[in-house]
């Protein structure tokens, strides 16, 4: 039975191609837990459909994704969902519950999508901020509109990077560090120069060019596609990706624990105060 979606759309725009669209454009596609699980359900639908050989991830509105919706009660949705991972224990005291929630919802989902056995192509316009990168980076290929911008503001929050810490596999180390240390925003051309993006196209051509690429991929034999993907991913993992990400995730949790001990908050309270001020402005102004 097909799942019912509120925050995404799912369609089959071309032979062999499934398209998943983030449909929360009015909120800059900020990610609440329901959106993330719907996205996961849609990836599963595409993965289980033998007629689908390539999956496109795109977004409504001027911006791909503003990151996590800080107003959402992530744990309430977690309680309603069947977990994709095995950690659970979301309500455990201290660091344990938070680490379990984020292992399931952020690291677990993004890593799961990275390992889907079919090629995925992200089409990105406007801003992809912090959690937005955790939707873009798990995709195998990235097509960026000329106005695309990629930015991680988590260090401003007092946290050392996103839960799915893929920065060193996407960018040269010094660029990754500057992105983290100084919240440096990479535009589409810079991201292309560093190999993070496959193609930069005019915004008006983003979907056409992405579907063109996806269609070319979908014409290839499915087994060769799966094995080619597994082979490249295995090379990244042989380079230490998995263990380095586990370390980064632990550091991320230490950041949350630090602020909980000091202030009872998940992140730097100064950032939260600035965010609360921003919340009185239009929604698209908030991270």
Q: How many CB atoms lie within 10 A of CB 185?
A: 16
Closer CB to Zn ion, 26 or 270, in the complex: 270
Using the contact rule CB under 5 A, the part of the chain among 68-76, 87-95, 101-109, 275-283 near Zn ion is: 101-109
Task: Determine the Cα–Cα distance for residues 49 and 32; give it in Å rounded to an integer.
Answer: 26
Contact map string, positions 55 to 94, toward Zn ion, x by CB under 5 A: ----------------------------------------
Q: Residue 139: which of 163, 160, 169, 101 has the closest Cα?
A: 169
Closer CB to Zn ion, 102 or 170, in the complex: 102
Using the contact rule CB under 5 A, the part of the chain among 4-12, 71-79, 99-107, 113-121 near Zn ion is: 99-107
- Using CB under 5 A as the binding criterion, the count of chain residues that bind Zn ion stands at 1
Using the contact rule CB under 5 A, the part of the chain among 47-55, 97-105, 114-122, 238-246 near Zn ion is: 97-105
> How far apart are CB 102 and Zn ion at their closest, in Å?
5
> What is the SS3 assignment for 143?
strand
Closer CB to Zn ion, 103 or 125, in the complex: 103
Using the contact rule CB under 5 A, the part of the chain among 100-108, 129-137, 165-173, 222-230 near Zn ion is: 100-108
The continuous run of DSSP H or E covering 223 comes out as: helix 222-238
> How far apart are CB 177 and Zn ion at their closest, in Å?
20
> How far apart are CB 280 and Zn ion at their closest, in Å?
25
Residue nearest to Zn ion (CB): 102
**CB 158, CB 268: distance < 8 Å:** yes
What six digits make up the tokens of 176? 């990754």
> How far apart are CB 154 and Zn ion at their closest, in Å?
8
> How far apart are CB 27 and Zn ion at their closest, in Å?
20
**CB 128, CB 64: distance < 8 Å:** yes
Task: Determine the Cα–Cα distance for residues 40 and 224; give it in Å rounded to an integer.
Answer: 24
| Long-range residue pairs from 166-174, CB within 8 A, at least 24 positions apart, any chain | 166/133, 166/134, 166/137, 166/138, 166/245, 168/244, 169/236, 169/241, 170/137, 170/194, 170/196, 171/196
Closer CB to Zn ion, 102 or 140, in the complex: 102
For the chain, count helices (H), then strands (E). Answer: 12, 9
> How far apart are CB 248 and Zn ion at their closest, in Å?
11
**CB 8, CB 48: distance < 8 Å:** no
Closer CB to Zn ion, 41 or 163, in the complex: 163
Using the contact rule CB under 5 A, the part of the chain among 24-32, 72-80, 102-110, 164-172 near Zn ion is: 102-110
Task: Determine the Cα–Cα distance for residues 162 and 39; give it in Å rounded to an integer.
Answer: 19
| Subset of residues 149 to 208 that bind Zn ion, contact rule: CB under 5 A | none
Residues forming the site for Zn ion (CB under 5 A)? 102
């Amino acid at each position: 039975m097909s799942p019912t979606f509120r925050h995404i759309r799912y369609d089959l725009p071309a032979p062999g191609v499934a398209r998943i669209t983030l449909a929360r454009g009015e909120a800059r596609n900020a990610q609440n837990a329901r959106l993330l699980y719907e996205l996961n359900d849609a990836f599963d639908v595409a993965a289980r459909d033998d007629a689908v050989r390539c999956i496109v991830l795109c977004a409504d509105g001027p911006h791909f994704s503003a990151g996590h919706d800080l107003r959402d009660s992530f744990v309430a949705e977690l309680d309603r969902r069947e977990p994709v991972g095995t950690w659970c224990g979301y309500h455990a005291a201290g660091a344990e519950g938070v680490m379990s929630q984020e292992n399931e919802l952020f690291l677990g989902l993004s890593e799961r999508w990275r390992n889907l056995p079919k090629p995925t192509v992200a089409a990105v316009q406007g801003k992809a901020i912090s959690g937005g990168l955790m939707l873009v980076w798990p995709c195998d290929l990235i097509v960026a509109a000329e106005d695309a911008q990629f930015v991680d503001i988590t260090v401003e929050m007092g946290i050392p990077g996103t839960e799915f810490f893929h920065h060193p596999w996407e960018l040269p180390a010094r660029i990754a560090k500057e992105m983290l240390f100084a919240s440096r925003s990479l535009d589409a051309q810079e991201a292309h120069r560093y190999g993070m993006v496959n193609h930069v196209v005019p915004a008006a051509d983003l979907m056409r060019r992405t579907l063109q690429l996806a269609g070319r991929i979908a014409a290839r034999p499915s087994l060769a596609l799966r094995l080619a993907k597994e082979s490249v991913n295995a090379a990244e993992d042989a380079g230490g990706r998995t263990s380095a990400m586990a370390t980064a995730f632990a550091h991320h949790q230490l950041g949350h624990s630090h602020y909980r001990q000091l202030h009872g908050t998940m992140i730097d309270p100064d950032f939260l105060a600035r965010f609360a001020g921003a919340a009185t402005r239009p929604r698209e102004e908030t991270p």
